[in-house]
Amino acid sequence: MQFKKINFSKYSSIKIGSTLEVALLNETNISFQGYFLIGSCNNTLIGNNPPKLMMLSKKYDYIKIENNLLHIGGATPSGKVASFCKKNNIANFEFLSHLPGKMGGLVFMNAGLKEYEIFNTLVNIRTTSSIKQKSEINFGYRFTDINEPILEASFELSYGYDTTKVEMFKKMRSNQPSTPSAGSCFKNPLGDYAGRLIEAVGLKGKRAGDMEFSNVHANFLVNHGNGTFDDAIFLIQEVQIRVYKEFAIWLECEIEILDINYMGKDSPLKK
Ligand SMILES: Cc1cc2nc3c(=O)[nH]c(=O)nc-3n(C[C@H](O)[C@H](O)[C@H](O)COP(=O)(O)OP(=O)(O)OC[C@H]3O[C@@H](n4cnc5c(N)ncnc54)[C@H](O)[C@@H]3O)c2cc1C
């Protein structure tokens, strides 16, 4: 098996984690059992005791048009897709110019901005075992039931790249911090906003070491430089407990916590 050394304090968007050996998934090595799959770690917090990690090899970084569909490899970065669509006048992917991640992670999370979600124009995915049509996948807000590595995603192809949408997505980002983070820390509970609840319990701007629930947008857990996993977990738990005590709402993490002590149904982060 091939491995790649990755320094997660540089690689992950929240800039936390040590240097770890990550197994590479390529065609000759398709067994992923026992590994946790990562993309570009824009939605991931690496812990002090991470599970064994795996990522798709460069082989899955491609974009092609075939049979009137757009086929995108699971390791293709969102920025590359956005540039390809701009260059080729392709519609519906403008939001990817402001949404970091690789195609596998974007599909697994059903990532999006407001009503613009990656599943909107998805046709099917190719996983390590089969091709799955969209109708065979359960998906919703930042959720899918996909339980295998996504090697490729195929989308409807329509033309008409819309620069006004790019401007609109840029504006949507303007109330969010530019300090390193992993995006929204908690999922919005039905009919409410995690940011509003964090602010309501007085934890907007709450800091532990270099980690902070941002003063700019309360649902962004930001790293001012030397933030640690322990500081991040302390703040996440503080918010969950305070919001639960005051509103009887348990905020579910949108960020994936990759630490064996905080994964699974017994995790202290799950009520
Ligand atoms: C500043 C900032 C702003 C953000 N704003 C938004 C936003 O507006 N909307 C939004 O939806 N998200 C947002 N995010 C989160 C992030 O962009 C998305 O969740 C994105 O989909 C993460 O992709 P990734 O490749 O980094 O995945 P990772 O963080 O590496 O992984 C996320 C999950 O995807 C799974 N996964 C990764 N690759 C694969 C694969 N090939 N096959 C199967 N599963 C896989 C992992 O197992 C993990 O469970 C933001 C993040 C940042 C840093």
* Any ligand 1 atom below 6 A from CB of 149: yes
* Any ligand 1 atom below 6 A from CB of 112: yes
Q: Which of 142, 152, 154, 212 is catalytic?
A: 142
Percentage of the chain with pLDDT > 70? 99
Using an 8 Å Cβ cutoff, are 202 and 247 in contact? no
pLDDT tens for each residue of 224-237:
999 999 999 999 99
Nearest one of 78, 31, 33, 75 to 55, comparing CA atoms: 75
Which of 38, 55, 139, 214, when mutated, tests ligand 1's pocket best, judged by the most ligand atoms within 8 Å of its CB?
38
The whole-number pLDDT of residue 78 equals 98
Examine the residue annotation and report whether 238 is marked as an active-site residue of this protein: no
Confidence band, pLDDT 50/70/90 cuts, at residue 28: low
Look up the pTM and report it: 0.95
* Any ligand 1 atom below 6 A from CB of 223: no
pLDDT at 29 over 90: no
- Distance, CA 165 to ligand 1 centroid (Å)? 21
Which atom belonging to ligand 1 lies closest to the Cα atom of 142?
A: 11
Q: Residue whose CA is closest, atom 4 of ligand 1?
A: 183
Examine the residue annotation and report whether 254 is marked as an active-site residue of this protein: yes
pLDDT tens for each residue of 108-151:
999 999 899 999 999 999 998 899 999 999 999 999 999 999 99
pLDDT tens for each residue of 42-78:
999 999 999 999 999 999 999 999 999 999 999 999 9
The whole-number pLDDT of residue 147 equals 92
Which atom belonging to ligand 1 lies closest to the Cα atom of 103?
A: 25
pLDDT at 255 over 80: yes
Q: Which of 184, 212, 214, 242 is catalytic?
A: 184
Q: Residue whose CA is closest, atom 21 of ligand 1?
A: 106
* Any ligand 1 atom below 6 A from CB of 255: no
* Any ligand 1 atom below 6 A from CB of 73: no
Beta bridge partners of 213: 221
- Distance, CA 142 to ligand 1 centroid (Å)? 9
